[in-house]
Structure 1
Amino acid sequence: MIGAVDDNKLSVNLNAIAVLRNRRNLPWPNVVGMGRIALDAGADGITVHPRPDQRHIRFTDLPDIRRLIDDEFPNQEFNIEGYPDDAFLDLAETYANQITLVPDSPDQSTSDHGWNFVKDSAFLKPVIKRLKDRSIRVILFVNPVVDGLDQAKALGADGIEIYTGPYGDAYDSDKKQLLALEAVTLVAEKAKQLGLLVNAGHDLTVPNLAPLVKNVPWLYEVSIGHGLIADALEHGMRETVLRFKRALAI
């Protein structure tokens, strides 16, 4: 059984930084440099989602980020998320401490749904075994619904990442946000009962983190990209990481 955690971890997703860099095919903003600032400010890890077309994070970024963590921040982690075809697995398992498996198609602009465990379990089972045999923590991206969590546990995953898009999208409606938060909380409670780690990600911000952490104090990690990088344009990366860490500490 998983109880409350001592520290809700923050993993900074660098994809948006890579998008800006790739617009001009120049070495700035520097993905590794921005990762260094985030980790030095107290981020617990770095997340990237390398897509087959390399439209943001490039495959060549992965060894550089791994080297940054190994050489300068050995207590922090590298989370790589993506659809687990052979090409992704060959790449990600070389560098990651944690791999978050998502059911994205190659042309999706962003992750927007979790696994269908009725349809996808047979596909996921050997993938999870492969990664566990390499001592990599395996997280499954799930919808904010309870159905399927028993199967996630049976497949051997270490935890889940709850898709919080509906919660983040309800920023302009207190009623919708409350309903979305209740759905996320039910999933987190079921996962806790099953002994699964509970991660969360998508459209999380400083304002909506505090209610989430209050409802789910056993939250293990949040992976945040768009909202965090948007804040960093205003506050700078260091101050933004501190702002998100303070929100997680509520």
Structure 2
Amino acid sequence: MKTRLSVNVNAVAALRNRRDLPWPSVTGMSRIALDAGAKGITVHPRPDERHIRRKDVRDLVDMLRKDYPGKELCLEGYPDNRFMALCEEIKPDQVLFVPDLPGQTTSDHGWDFAANDALLRGVIEVIKRSGSRVSLFVDPDPAQPAKAAAVGADRIEIYTGPYGACHSDADLEKTRLAEVVATAHAAKEAGLGVNAGHDLTPDNLPALIAEVPFIREVSIGHGFVADALIHGFAKSVERFQAAMGER
């Protein structure tokens, strides 16, 4: 099984929203990534629409279903009423539930399962009835996957921010990588699919994939767009896929 790349285009939308103009186009840049070989697109429509707007989500799902059969849309967000209604309306391939507060800059911690057991069981049941796969954002802690399985998740996405953040400290990087690896193996033992995301780059992906070749998907936004500023959107797809063994 090769790990597949889903490109998060939130940063594209954030740049567009700096002006009252239609560029850079979220669908246009997504097309470039998909044409270059990305397996899908990830977006996180926040309540204030500071980057991805609900119209973007609808435009993306229309584009994918019309022009890219077999490619996926992952919709990421906190399961409030508005987000749940959007998920039920568009029926993305995957819904990633994250425990974000409304004002957070980015997702930076996994679910507290004890505090959110009833919430998660309820929203997962609703989303599965609508036909979408469900993933839950978890900290790199091998105790977490069994809890995700217990509430009904299909997959977890391991928060790899702590691993990506220690790029200048080789010893700490090994420690953080070991935490991610242990969490991935615990998820496999619990019968869950494994995704990963946050601060992954062509430099730190090879070590991760070598240790956890059964990761099904990496969702990359900030690191991807930073790389694309140098190499271009299409070339960065190639670079990330080569780093994870998808090419």
TM-score greater than 0.5 by the shorter chain: yes
Match of 1:179 in 2: 175
8 Å Cα contact 2:16-2:24 kept in structure 1? yes
Tell me if 1:137 matches 2:133: yes
| Superposition deviation, residue 109 in structure 1 | 0.5
2:222 is the alignment partner of 1:223: no
In structure 2, what is the Cα distance between the partners aligned to 1:10 and 1:93? 24
1:36-55 superposed matches below 5 A: 36-55=31-50
Whole-Å separation in 2 of the counterparts to 1:110 and 1:32? 22
Query: What are the Cα deviations for residues 184-213 of structure 1, in whole angstroms up to 9, with x where unaligned?
Result: 000000001111000000000010000000
| 1:159 maps onto 2:155 in alignment | yes
One-letter code of the match for 2:31? R
Correspondence 1:22-61 to 2 at 5 A: 22-61=17-56
Superposition pairs for residues 1-250 of structure 1, below 5 Å? 5=1, 7-95=2-90, 96-249=92-245
Whole-Å separation in 2 of the counterparts to 1:67 and 1:41:
19
CA contact (8 A) 1:118 1:148 kept: no
Q: Please give the alpha-carbon distance, in whole angstroms, between the structure 2 residues aligned to 1:93 and 1:159.
A: 19
1:92 Cα deviation (Å)? 2.3
Q: How many angstroms apart in 2 are the aligned matches of 1:44 and 1:135?
A: 19
Count matched residues: 245
Question: Is the 2:76–2:97 contact (alpha carbons within 8 Å) kept by the matching residues of 1?
Answer: yes
Distance in 1 (CA, whole Å) between partners of 2:136 and 2:89 is 19
Structure 1 vs Structure 2: percent identity of aligned residues? 52
Q: CA RMSD in A?
A: 0.9
> After alignment, is 89-98 or 115-124 more displaced?
89-98
Q: TM-score, normalised by structure 1?
A: 0.96
Q: Distance in 1 between matches of 2:192 and 2:155?
A: 4
Structure 2 unmatched runs, 5+: none
Equivalent position SS for 1:79? strand
SS of corresponding position for 1:23: coil
Runs of 4 or more consecutive aligned structure 1 residues displaced over 4 Å after TM superposition: none
5+ long unaligned stretches in structure 1: none
- Cα distance between partner residues in 2 of 1:249 and 1:101: 27
Conservation of the 8 A alpha-carbon contact between 2:143 and 2:186: no
Q: Is the 8 A contact 2:75 2:94 kept in 1?
A: yes
TM-score (norm 2): 0.97
